[in-house]
DNA sequence: CATGAATGAGAGTTCATTCAT
DNA sequence: TATGAATGAACTCTCATTCAT
């Protein structure tokens, strides 16, 4: 019943094949869904009612279930995008800064990401088998990145302590827990993360 | 909520025994309730169904609501007791160890407590205004204790960094998040907490 | 929200213990529930929405689930009562008529019962494991009754064919399928059942 | 339901081939649909999700709705074909056997057909007005066939009882209810149908 | 004071049906 | 004409919370 945006591009200017149109709509919906989910997760956590997300995206609940049969599918999809961005940031930081500083900056960058995703850590630790894929993504994408940065920093003498990358990432995620989207919360998390980083340096 | 006619005669005119009995019963119930809640919270988190707790305690749900109108009241009551024990431990540690070590040992003691209380941190950060009293208890009992230990350690040159006690306590609580009652989880949390402590030492 | 009948018997005339009152209410509700379910099942089949039954009984859905966690529990309860009555009728018929006629009359009595319970046969054959208890009740209560009547009739030379009682009962139930509560439907079922009975007699 | 502009040029101006192709495709689809529906009905009953049928046939749901706007349309179409085969069988049986035996054999043949169509009887008796056409087909095709066989058998002295053909057919269909595709179920149904046939013979 | 039956809002999930492409 | 994405009504079931006894 919701009025879909009928962009109504004039027929003459339309160049894409008709078959594409359908896909375009679907993709648009999917995007709206991911955006909505991201927003709702940030506000109400990953346990927010499916209906809320559907409404926010302007679609029916059925559509959500069509694209993401499991809640975890949606969660994964939402977070994966940003995790990728986070992973990519490592390259730039490594190129621009010495190992120790690159490590710090990347961890802080990661902190920022996690802090903005209320409920991420909770989902990760929920024990719910549904979030396995998400956890796996952590291990296969983020952890290796941190491992690389750690190794470089240690080689440069900027880090003394041994630490398991996945464990460390989990700890940082946990430190962001409950720190709303407020600046105060952010700062709080950041301070604690810096303490953790300082700990790495200690002999 | 309307006060029903109190059919029972005034306490003064009653023989001591029945009155005692009643009070004793009530206290017993309350204790059973707290024990049950503690156990259930540990197993299923602080969001466990009220009925589960009531059944575990062998009382009706109504009784739970009578004693603890808000869920947070029950949670607070449950945790308060153990917090007190934790606070008390500080004295002994201060007497037995040098400031720096006393600090470490106490924080680890606190870590143990929090790790055993699945959901404590979550509740604390839930944003639900209902948990305010619990947070307050944190500030008024635990935080001053930590502040004292920190001050002593700093005076002894065992700590360099400045840190807000409440913030630090929250961070430690967060680090325990999702670390089930398993030994592995415990160790994981402990390792991260030690890192945090090491961070305090760094110049 | 539904206004419960507040019979409000004057306090002075009330003799039953207060504790009984609660039970009385509960039982009344349970009875209303069974009556409502019976009616709804007859009108809309055993797959009727739970809410419909709850509304008809004037209770909340939760109450239905409290008393009958599984849909099949409710169905069983509803039908059991009438099955018992049906079983009891056998004694009277046996006493009042010669074996062959007693058999006929009882089967017709049973036909009447089943015809009035739209959905009984369907549930029985749904394959849904949930209806097992109901099927079992068939085997343990009705089948033995029919077996007895058949044996007597055969001994008296009024029946020639061998037939498995449970199978026969199922067949009769099936014959009532789709015969609404109309007289026409009833008669239709009855005619076919008589044919079946006639078949028993054939050499 | 509004008629869309028929973009395709008129059939007459098109070359024969493409037109044929289209028709051929459509017919093929229709056939696949009927086959799929038959299979699905047999496995999951006539209430099976439309999508299941569409997938089985390798077409979109829209196609199902195009050919069979009402579910009953599909059901009717599916069963009609087999009913016709059943009707045709009567001729052969009449030619090959004496009236009494022809009757028995045909009824058993019909039993086989119905037993294989789980849900046919249910649909027939569902009360849903949508199945009227199917019921009508029963009356106009099968019932006359049975009537003919019955008349011949009666004329030959092989049947004593009067019985309405449609009613009898319905009864047989009902007896097949809930008898899965298993051999046991089949035999059960057959036994009961034989009893019914024996009843016809009784004086 | 305790009890636990009753209530009913709300969440998840499925599917018939429509309709833009 | 076929497709399948989207819709949303309808259903089941769970629990927090109230309140008569």
Output the pLDDT for position B126.
64
At residue C65, the pLDDT reads: 94
Map residue B56 onto helix, strand or coil: helix
Nearest to A196 among B167, B188, B199 (CB): B199
Q: Do A198 and B124 touch (CB under 8 A)?
A: no
Query: Smallest CA–CA separation between B94 and chain A, in Å?
Result: 24
Mean pLDDT, residues B110-116 taken together: 89
pLDDT over threshold 50, residue D67: yes
Chain B partners of A182 at a C-beta cutoff of 8 Å?
none
**Which residues 6+ apart lie within 8 Å of B121 measured at CB?**
A177, A178, B114, B170, B173, B174, B176, B177
pLDDT tens column, B147-173: 999 999 999 999 999 999 999 999 999
pLDDT tens string B122-148: 767 666 666 777 788 888 999 999 999
| Closest to D135 (Cα-Cα) out of D79, D95, D90, D180 | D79
Supply the mean pLDDT for chain D: 82
Spell out which residues of chain D touch residue C174, defining contact as CB-CB under 8 Å.
174-178
| pLDDT tens sequence across A87-104 | 999 999 999 999 999 999
Answer whether residue C156 shows pLDDT above 90: yes
Could you read off the pLDDT of A19-56 as tens digits, one per residue?
444 556 777 889 899 999 999 988 888 889 999 999 99
From the CA of B62, how many Å to the C1' of F16? Answer: 11
Q: Is residue B75 pLDDT above 80, yes or no?
A: yes
Question: Which of A174, A175, A198 is closest, CB to CB, to B178?
Answer: A174
Q: How far apart are CA C167 and CA C173, in angstroms?
A: 10
Asked if the model's pLDDT at residue B47 lies above 80, the reply is yes
CA–CA min distance A150, chain B (Å): 15
Average pLDDT over residues D68-77: 88
User: D159-178: per-residue pLDDT in tens?
Assistant: 999 999 999 999 999 898 87
Residues of C near D (Cβ–Cβ under 8 Å) read 121-122, 124-127, 161, 163, 167-168, 170-171, 174-180, 188, 191-192, 194-202
List the single residue in B with minimal CA-CA distance to A170: B175
pLDDT value at residue B55? 93
The secondary structure of A93-139, three-state, reads HHHHCCHHHHHHHHHHHHHHHHHHCCCHHHHHHCCCHHHHHHHHHHH
pLDDT in tens, A104-141: 999 999 999 888 877 777 777 666 666 777 788 888 99
Dihedrals phi, psi of B174, to nearest 5 degrees: -65, -40
pLDDT in tens, C14-68: 333 334 445 567 778 898 999 999 999 888 888 899 999 999 999 999 999 999 9
Domains of chain D by start residue, with CATH: 14-67 (1.10.10), 71-201 (1.10.357.10)
DSSP letter, residue A140: I
Q: Compute the distance between CA of residue A154 and CA of residue D190 in angstroms, rounded to an integer.
A: 83
* pLDDT more than 90, % of chain C: 52
Please identify which residue in the block is written with the tokens 């059925």. A62
CA/C1' separation A59–F7 (Å): 8
D74 in Cβ contact with D40 (< 8 Å): no
Query: Which protein residue lies nearest to nucleotide E4, measured between its Cα and the C1' atom?
Result: B60
C-alpha pair distances (Å), B105 with each of A163, A196, B198, C155, C203: 21, 18, 13, 91, 95
pLDDT of residue C16: 38
Q: Are A134 and A124 in contact (CB under 8 A)?
A: yes
Let me know if chains D and C touch, i.e. at least 3 Cβ pairs under 8 angstroms.
yes
Residue C164: the pLDDT is 95
pLDDT band at B9 (very low <50, low <70, confident <90, very high): very low
Query: Which residues neighbour C123 within 8 Å (Cβ) at sequence distance 6 or greater?
Result: C46, C72, C75, C131, C134
What's the CA–C1' distance between C21 and F20, in Å?
9
pLDDT computed for residue D9 by the predictor = 31
Check residue B128 and give its pLDDT: 66
Percentage of chain C modeled with pLDDT above 70: 81
What distance in Å separates the CA atoms of residue D126 and residue C178, rounded to the nearest whole number?
7
Average pLDDT, chain A: 83
Confidence of residue C180 (pLDDT cuts 50, 70, 90): low
The burial of B169, by beta-carbon neighbours within 10 Å (0-12 exposed, 13-18 middle, 19 or more buried), is given as buried
Q: What is the pLDDT of residue B28?
A: 75
- Tell me the C-alpha distance between A98 and B138, whole Å: 41
Measure Cα distances from B25 to A113, B20, B29, B57, C57 in Å. Answer: 53, 8, 6, 13, 39
Mean pLDDT in chain B? 82
* D121 interaction partners in chain C (CB closer than 8 Å): 177-178
String of DSSP letters for chain C: ----------GGG--S-HHHHHHHHHHHHHHHHHHHHHHHHHHH-TT--HHHHHHHHTS-HHHHHHH-SSHHHHHHHHHHHHHHHHHHHHHHHHHHS-HHHHHHHHHHHHHHHHHHSTTHHHHHHS--GGGHHHHHHIIIIIHHHHHHHHHHHHHTTS--S---HHHHHHHHHHHTTT--SSHHHHHHHHHHHHHHHHHHH--
């Amino acid at each position: 019943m919701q009025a879909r945006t009928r962009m109504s591009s004039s027929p003459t200017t339309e160049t894409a094949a008709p078959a594409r149109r359908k896909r375009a709509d679907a993709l648009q919906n999917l995007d709206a869904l991911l955006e909505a989910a991201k927003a709702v997760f940030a506000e109400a956590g990953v346990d927010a009612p499916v209906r809320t997300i559907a409404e926010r995206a302007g679609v029916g609940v059925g559509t959500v279930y069509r694209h993401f049969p499991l809640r975890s599918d949606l969660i994964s999809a939402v977070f994966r995008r940003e995790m990728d961005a986070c992973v990519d940031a490592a390259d730039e930081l490594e190129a621009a800064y010495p190992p120790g500083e690159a490590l710090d900056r990347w961890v802080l960058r990661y902190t920022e990401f996690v802090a903005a995703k209320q409920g991420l850590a909770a989902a990760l630790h929920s024990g719910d088998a549904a979030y396995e894929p998400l956890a796996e993504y952590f291990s296969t994408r983020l952890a290796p990145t941190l491992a690389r940065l750690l190794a470089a920093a240690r080689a440069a003498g900027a880090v003394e302590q041994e630490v398991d990358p996945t464990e460390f990432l989990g700890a940082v995620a946990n430190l962001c827990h409950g720190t709303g989207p407020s600046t105060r919360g952010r700062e709080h998390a950041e301070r604690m993360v810096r303490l953790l980083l300082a700990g790495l340096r200690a002999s």
